[in-house]
Amino acid sequence: MAIKLSNRTILIKPSPTLTLSAKAKEMSAAGIDVVNFGVGEPDFNTPEYIKKAAHQAIDDNFTRYTANPGIPELKNAICAKLLRENKLSYQPNQILVSPGAKASIVNILVAVCDFNDQVLMPMPYWVSYPYQAMLADAQPVYIPTLEEDSYKLTPAALSKAIGENPAAKVLILNSPSNPTGAVYTRPELEKLAEVCLKHNLLVVSDEIYERLVYDGTEHVSTASLSPEMQEHTVVINGVSKAYAMTGWRLGYAAGPAHIIAAAGRVQAHATSCVNSITQKACVTALNEEDDSIEMMRKQFEQRRNFLYEELSKLPHISCFKPQGAFYIMPNISWYLKNNKAGIQCSDEFCTQLLEKHHVALVSGGSFGIESNVRFSYANSMDNLRKGVSRFAAFLEELRA
């Protein structure tokens, strides 16, 4: 008789973005010209000055285990970065370096959540947040947002959710947002912070896209709002997105020392330290930045402008203009209600789009919002032009 899986893992589904990416790669390997807008990964190479530091670490034989929470020079570099860019003062014992920002979030949730504690998250949400809460034996609670509110959580909606969920302990807030590209302003965050402090909520502030903002938009870290709010916030960040270092696997958490220490104990028995070479490279990434980071940001902004303009021209499509990250979510609800292909949900829409027109998008249902689909514009302009043309042709077929 087969061994029964845990209830926890039965609830956890495969990552839709990774599943879609695998399908698109499989089709490409079979010789099909697929335009993949699914994966949230910069198409740029890691900057040369960072790669050079990694080579140097190998040449120096810096290839052994490090201290579990991170090497001292990296934790110091993170503290300096947070002070320089976010006006946040942290000590090294308030920093935990982890193998990716995903691991950072899981470590924190396991450290603070007990069985059936509730983790609040605005909807649409990043696909992993619900399952990360489940891994910590907590319950995800979804708070709907509206397109007319730029898909941002409002204080009234947060207060209502807290009132209806007395075991609420954590709010996950993502700005700039994956999947919507929304960026919270300082006044918006201040109002949310008032509610969080009133109800003693911990905010897990996912700021992994902080460098990717457009139109002069300011990124504001939730922890920077006040000393009291800093004590109620764990900042999550890393090098994957802005530095084009997804495969290097390094994220970090900054927060109250007792929470970071507990999360470090979790990590010590789960993954232990990040690989030594990546840590050395990230010291250089944070301390010796060159103009390649800004170059990538500017190109993402140009791509966002193009894709937003093209999608906005399409019949029966509405589209929120993202202010950050590298995603855009057109609303396809009209086509879900008016098509001759039998499509009833965003997942079916994306499946047929991939099979018939070889364009890979992530369904809105993966983020809790059936009315939309997500494009990643971490892609070349040639692919953006080709992909949006195929997308438009598919919509025309559905209207016919």
Which pLDDT tens digit goes with each residue over 173-211? 999 999 999 999 999 999 999 999 999 999 999 999 999
For residue range 370-395, list pLDDT tens digits in order. 999 999 999 999 999 999 999 999 99
**Residue 3 belongs to a domain:** no
C-alpha radius of gyration, the chain, whole number? 21
Looking at the predicted structure, is the pLDDT value of residue 57 above 90? yes
Backbone φ, ψ for residue 234 (5° rounding): -115, 120
Asked whether residue 209 falls in the same domain as residue 180, the answer is: yes
Identify the CATH number of the domain in which residue 376 sits.
Answer: 3.90.1150.10
Q: How far apart are the first and last CA of the chain?
A: 53
| pLDDT number for residue 386 | 98
Looking at the predicted structure, is the pLDDT value of residue 15 above 90? no
Taking a C-beta distance cutoff of 8 angstroms, is the pair 253, 45 a contact?
no
For residue range 90-118, list pLDDT tens digits in order. 999 999 999 999 999 999 999 999 999 99
Alpha-carbon distance of 133 to 120, in angstroms, equals: 9
Task: Give the residue from 235, 264, 287 where a domain finishes.
Answer: 287
pLDDT band at 56 (very low <50, low <70, confident <90, very high): very high
Looking at the predicted structure, is the pLDDT value of residue 17 above 80? no
| pLDDT number for residue 22 | 82
Asked whether residue 202 falls in the same domain as residue 57, the answer is: yes
- 3-state DSSP assignment of residue 215: coil
Of 23, 24, 38, whose CA–CA distance to 346 is shortest?
A: 38
pLDDT band at 243 (very low <50, low <70, confident <90, very high): very high
- Token look-up 């940001």 returns 297
For residue range 135-167, list pLDDT tens digits in order. 999 999 999 999 999 999 999 999 999 999 999
Residues 6+ apart with CB under 8 A from 285: 47, 49, 50, 53, 239, 243, 245
Sign of CA dihedral 275, 278, 280, 286: negative
Asked whether residue 333 falls in the same domain as residue 230, the answer is: no
pLDDT band at 130 (very low <50, low <70, confident <90, very high): very high
Taking a C-beta distance cutoff of 8 angstroms, is the pair 113, 170 a contact?
yes
- Token look-up 């396991």 returns 110
pLDDT band at 19 (very low <50, low <70, confident <90, very high): confident
Reported pTM: 0.96
Characterize the bridge pairing of strands 139-144 and 118-123.
Answer: parallel
- Of 12-21, 26-35, 175-184, the poorest mean pLDDT is in 12-21
**Residue 260 belongs to a domain:** yes
Asked whether residue 255 falls in the same domain as residue 345, the answer is: no
Range of the domain at 99: 48-287
Looking at the predicted structure, is the pLDDT value of residue 85 above 90? yes
